[in-house]
Structure formats: structure tokens, C-alpha cells
Amino acid sequence: MTAKRLLRLTHIASTIWFVVCVGYILILRLLEVGFQWWLIFSLSGQSVIVVFILISLYLFALFRGVGGAQQTAAERPFSSTPYYLGFYVAAPLLGGLAGILGMIGESDLGRFIWGVAIGTLGITFCIWVVFDPLVGLIEMFLPESRKHRAERVARVEAERKAHQQKGERLLAEAIAREEQERTQWRQALQPQAERLAALLATDPVVPAKAEQEAVDIGAQAWRMGGLNCMRQLRDMALALHKDETGRVKTTDYISYWWDGIGDWRRPSVN
């Protein structure tokens, strides 16, 4: 059995044992309350605090394991060793063993189980909340650990900047490609835009022939560059059809003529 697998099994066993002991302590205290213990528990501020502390204790241990995994062994030369990690995850089991040793000679079964559960909780708290942070604090101030941490932080910052610069470069390239496409379309679509502007001049009576011709022009624009190309062609035609005041001289029939071509949809009428 590999050390990693043994560590995982130890962690599972410790977790189960810790939950069992905590559950036993809570249930025993609740039963001691008496008849309406559920109501009392729900209203008791002290019980809420106890539950919060127990949950925080276990979440702290999990967070420590996740956070420690992100650091290199050079930054944590002692607490990253398999022996220390085994000691850390086995804290509830060690607490249970300490409770058993402390209750040797106790004839009352209830008091014996209570002592084992309290020993589990106490030793686990001491290792996870007191001893382990103290070890981490000592490791953090070691010269070699500080050096490796500074190198890791600098490397992470460099990777972040490189990723940001790459994103900015890709965005700039996409904008440049889009602008190049628009320039190419502007040159290729100029005749069609002029023709559409002329078709708009048929207002107020729009012949069916003019509408069919506009549909053919819109379909060509769709095949050339999709919806963006059609929008640019429509804008070019409307710009050519403006009067001296800068306003379009007639209704934008193009948006209605092209309804159903590709993804083009006529504007909704409120």
C-alpha cells in the first residue's frame, strides 16, 4: 500500500471517528436537557456556539490541507513530510487513543465513552488549532522558506501578467481583424449600398421588384460576412440616403425587406 493511499484511508477513518465523537457529545448533552430538548436546542445560544465552533474546527482543518497543498515542500520543510501529514490527519484517532489511555480503570461504561469522546475532541483541537499553526508560523520565518515563497509569489505574478498580456493581445488582434474585414466589406459593398439607397428613393410606393432586388442584395451580404456584413451594408445605404440635415429621408425599409435572411429579423414594433 502506497503512502498516499494510506494517508487517504487514515483521513477517512479520522473523519468518521471525529464525526462520531462530536455527534455523541451533542446527542448526550441534548438528551440531558430533557423532554423538550429540540425546542431548547433551537433556542439555545450556547448550543449554536458549540456547533459553530465544531464545524469551524473541521473546516479549518480542511482549509489548511487545501492551502498547504498549494505550497511547495521547500516552504514547509517539516509539515509537508508524509510523517507529519499522517500525524495531522490522524489527530482524531490519536485523541481517541489518548482518551482510552486516560480512562483506563474507569468501570462506568458511559463515563468511559464520554472520556474517549472528550479526549478525541481535545487532542484534535490542540493539534489542528494550536500545534499546526505554530509549526507553520515557525516554518514561515525560516530563511529558505521565505526565499522560496518570494520566488513563488513572483512566479505567480509573472504568470498573471503574461496571461493578461496574452488576453490583451488576442483582443487587439480580434479588433484589428474586425476592422480589416469592415474595410474590405466597405470597398466591396459600395455598389450594393448605392443601389439600396436608390431603392429607398422609391418611397412612398415601394414596388415588389425593388423589394426583391433588395432581398437579393441582402442575401449576397449574408453569404459574404453574415449578420455583421448585412448591418454594415444597411448603415452604408442609409448614410447615402440622408438629406442635408443628416436625417434619413425615408423609412428604413431595408430592415423589413431583409426579414428572414439568415439571422436578420425585422425590428419589433411597440
pLDDT digits (tens, 9 = 90+) for 54-100: 555 555 555 555 444 445 677 778 888 888 888 988 999 999 999 99
Tell me which of 85, 116, 141 is where a domain ends.
141
Could you tell me the residue range of the domain that residue 193 belongs to? 175-257
Q: For residues 122 and 185, state if they share a domain.
A: no
Q: What is the pLDDT of residue 243?
A: 56
Q: What is the pLDDT of residue 89?
A: 87
Q: What is the pLDDT of residue 162?
A: 93
- Contact of 41 with 30, CB cutoff 8 Å: yes
Q: What is the pLDDT of residue 157?
A: 92
Q: What is the pLDDT of residue 224?
A: 87
Q: For residues 23 and 130, state if they share a domain.
A: yes
Q: For residues 23 and 117, state if they share a domain.
A: yes
In a domain, 168, yes or no: no
In a domain, 65, yes or no: yes
With CA atoms as reference, report the closest residue to 120 among 87, 101, 95: 95
> What letter represents residue 227's amino acid?
L
Q: For residues 126 and 183, state if they share a domain.
A: no
In a domain, 210, yes or no: yes
Regions of the chain short of the pLDDT cut 50: 35, 40-41, 43, 66-70, 204, 244-245
In a domain, 265, yes or no: no
Q: What is the pLDDT of residue 259?
A: 87
Q: At what angle do helices 3-33 and 82-89 cross, to 10 degrees?
A: 20
Radius of gyration of the chain (CA): 37
Q: For residues 108 and 29, state if they share a domain.
A: yes
Tell me which of 141, 165, 199 is where a domain ends.
141
Q: For residues 94 and 212, state if they share a domain.
A: no
Q: What is the pLDDT of residue 244?
A: 45
Give the Cα separation of 96 and 17 in Å (integer).
8
Q: What is the pLDDT of residue 48?
A: 53
In a domain, 270, yes or no: no
Name 242's bridge partners.
248
Q: What is the pLDDT of residue 70?
A: 47
Q: For residues 112 and 26, state if they share a domain.
A: yes
Q: For residues 16 and 119, state if they share a domain.
A: yes
Q: For residues 91 and 195, state if they share a domain.
A: no
Q: For residues 113 and 181, state if they share a domain.
A: no
In a domain, 243, yes or no: yes
Q: For residues 137 and 210, state if they share a domain.
A: no
- The DSSP symbol for 242 reads B
Range list of H helices, 34-108: 37-43, 45-69, 82-89, 91-102
In a domain, 186, yes or no: yes
- Total number of domains constituting the chain: 2
Q: What is the pLDDT of residue 61?
A: 56
Tell me which of 141, 164, 195 is where a domain ends.
141
In a domain, 120, yes or no: yes
Q: For residues 22 and 97, state if they share a domain.
A: yes
